[in-house]
Structure 1
Amino acid sequence: MWIVRLVTKRLALGVVTLTALAAIVFFISTLVPGDPARVAVGENATPDQIAAARERLGLDKPVVMQFVMYLGRMVRGDLGVSISTHSPVSSGLAAALPTTFELVLLAILLMVVVALPTATIAALRQGHHVDTGLRTSAVFAAGIPTFWLALLAQFILAGKLQILPISGAVSRQYVVQHHTGFMLVDSTISGGLAAGWDAFQHLLMPASVLAVLFGAQLFRALRTEIIRVLSREHIAVARAKGVPRRILVLNHVLPNAVGPAITILGVQFGMMVGSAVLVESIFALPGLGSYLTNAVSSADINALLGAVLVTGVVVVLASLLVDVLQALRDPRVRAAQNGGRR
């Protein structure tokens, strides 16, 4: 079956990609200043304690052998123990990932809510001042550096207007018990709707930053596709028959234009997980970004590799989902997977 062949090929490519990614990060991490053994035992450790830690962590072996040992553990699903926290890397990542997923999913929701109507308006008003203004805004938004936009949002929304919290996941007045790992869910369970709303407000600004950065590409893709659909013959016939524009857009144009947008969202999901690293650090969110930042600052090789690999897995799976969706909507892709047979 074509879908089995497609998934098998993409997963095989994903394994190669992740192995190469692990190798690059591992060997670069060995060049970073800092002694993981000293981090593991503390600054006041004796030379004998540091030497024992190096032997226990396998740091006394050649770098290539260390990497081979790490790959063996990774195949078994063992990401190792964090050198700085002395807890399993998998546990730390499991606690951090839900926050990142909440951030990215809310950002995607904001992107769709804003990009879909604005792209439709721009396409329907092609060549007019409204279209020009929206396209110019999209180009400007796409070129803003992440760090600058995040600081600007904090300065305006939290500092000047004081309508959103400047950072953090939830206000200190709420004690949140972690049931699912998702802050919006856990805060609502622990403190009711008031705590849930507070957590949502904390998440809204960083999600908006991500939405602005990636929404421009979605806007441009939707606008282009809507214009392409509007130029089709059956749309012209429907217009000639007097079909109201609202019905024409909702029933005929948008259903045919959102396909490529779904593909773009799939690609952007993986990219947004990577970009969330910086955003989470700026807004002090306890997600994958904070975990990765702490790993780098403490020379925690196991945590660093685990965070990078998990990010890579998310990107690979998002790419796989995009390929499957593309094949489902495009018969030519399915034919290619079937060796040219339709």
Structure 2
Amino acid sequence: MKTLASKWMPGLAFLARRLGMTALTLLGLVTLVFAMVKAIPGDEAQVAAGPEASPAQVEAVRQRMGLDAPIIVQYGRFVGRVLQGELGTSISTLQPVRDDVLNVFPATLELVVVTLVLSLLLAVPAAVAAATWRDSAFDRACRVSAVAAGGMPTFWLALLAQYVLASRWGLLPISGQQSLDFTVPVRTQMPMVDALLAGNIAAFADATRHIVLPALSLAAFFGAQFFRTLRASLIAILESDFIVPVRAKGASFTRIMLRHALPNSIGPTVTLVGVLLGMMIGSSVLVESVFGRQGVGAYLTNAVEQKDTYAVLGAVLFVGTAVCISNVLVDLLLLAVDPRIRAAQLQGSKR
């Protein structure tokens, strides 16, 4: 029993430490966003009551919403409700914020997943080829392209792609999530998934065409980051000492790359995925606004315009929670697949 407990204790200590850091991060996020929303000019009670409401009606709404209490009391009440899983009621939709966010987040999640897949599909083959033919014309072209793509704002790339590929050349839809010609039962709020569940291949193809431009606009930036990290890791592994005996045994370069170099260099890229996932979700909010997609971006934009405090806080907190959970999952994945990271982290937990 003692041996079993000592075996699991370092892992449990690491998990407890990561969950504690996640809780502090979310608390800081709630505090920061709450303060920012309160600093926005305007009266929440007036917005909730409507432009034609009388002063008495506005005051009644203020009292009903608890806006007449001191700021610290409002903050404490909000944190208490969040701990109970209650994010408040949106003053613009009159629906629970939790339900609103759960309704729009799947569309954003679909865009993020497609972006991540496209980023890796662009980055991994290019990084492998660039590391294989290091300092060649192909390698230099890839590095220049990565620097250029990594230095451009995603919303500018989105506008450029929208103008050139959609408006001028007409290759892809200019905006939206799906054409009005297709009616698909909504089950998951993800157009591509709903089309597949309905068995409507034409609707799936149409939803895919609508998501290509937004996903490519994001993938150009994030794929550049993945390419640079993976290329550097591959070159370091190929030049390391443990590759020498593998080459001495007569292994082909393809076998060395696929069986030894790539598996041992994927760790930093996986870590980068976890680090950039939050930025990917944040960037998708801007790209959704450019392409008129009904995700968290449209919801947040409307909430900020309406000074919908609970909607803004709830949406940001929901997204922040998703990002923090994904980061924890990435850390656990790295512990499972990389013995070097596992040894370093677990030894640190023992101290």
Q: Same fold (TM over 0.5)?
A: yes
Deviation at 1:226, TM superposition (A): 0.6
Identity, % of aligned pairs?
42
CA distance in 1, matches of 2:16, 2:82: 20
1:25 aligns with 2:33: yes
Aligned twin of 1:277: 285
Aligned twin of 1:14: 22
> For residues 47-196 of structure 1, what are the structure 2 equivalents within 5 Å?
47-190=55-198, 192-196=200-204
Aligned twin of 1:201: 209
CA distance in 2, matches of 1:332, 1:18: 26
CA distance in 1, matches of 2:245, 2:173: 52
> For residues 298-317 of structure 1, what are the structure 2 equivalents within 5 Å?
298-317=306-325
Which moves more between the two structures, 233-242 or 256-265?
233-242
CA contact (8 A) 1:326 1:333 kept: no
CA contact (8 A) 2:103 2:189 kept: yes
Q: Letter of the aligned partner of 1:197 in structure 2? A: A
Q: Letter of the aligned partner of 1:245 in structure 2? A: F
CA distance in 1, matches of 2:57, 2:185: 37
Which moves more between the two structures, 104-113 or 11-20?
11-20
CA distance in 1, matches of 2:16, 2:248: 48
Q: Letter of the aligned partner of 1:144 in structure 2? A: M
CA distance in 2, matches of 1:29, 1:164: 37
Deviation at 1:238, TM superposition (A): 3.3
Aligned twin of 1:335: 347
Aligned twin of 2:266: 258
CA distance in 2, matches of 1:143, 1:110: 19
Which moves more between the two structures, 189-198 or 84-93?
189-198
Q: Letter of the aligned partner of 2:144 in structure 1? A: T
CA distance in 2, matches of 1:281, 1:251: 43
CA contact (8 A) 2:158 2:290 kept: yes
Deviation at 1:58, TM superposition (A): 0.8
Aligned twin of 2:6: none
Deviation at 1:241, TM superposition (A): 4.1
Query: 1:255-290: CA deviations, max 9, x gaps?
Result: 222122111112222221121111111111111111
Which moves more between the two structures, 16-25 or 136-145?
16-25
Q: Letter of the aligned partner of 2:321 in structure 1? A: V
CA contact (8 A) 1:175 1:190 kept: no
CA distance in 2, matches of 1:246, 1:41: 68
Deviation at 1:321, TM superposition (A): 2.1
Count of residue pairs brought into register by the alignment? 339
Q: Letter of the aligned partner of 1:71 in structure 2? A: V
CA distance in 2, matches of 1:252, 1:171: 46
CA distance in 1, matches of 2:82, 2:13: 25
CA distance in 1, matches of 2:160, 2:92: 33
Secondary structure of the residue aligned to 2:39 is coil
User: Structure 1 residues 135 and 212, CA, compared in 2 at 3 Å: closer, same or farther?
Assistant: same
Query: 1:106-144: CA deviations, max 9, x gaps?
Result: 111011111011001111111222211111111111100
CA contact (8 A) 1:82 1:302 kept: yes
Deviation at 1:315, TM superposition (A): 2.2
Aligned twin of 2:333: 325
Deviation at 1:327, TM superposition (A): 3.1
Q: Which runs of no fewer than 5 residues in structure 1 stay unpaired?
A: none
TM-align CA RMSD:
1.5
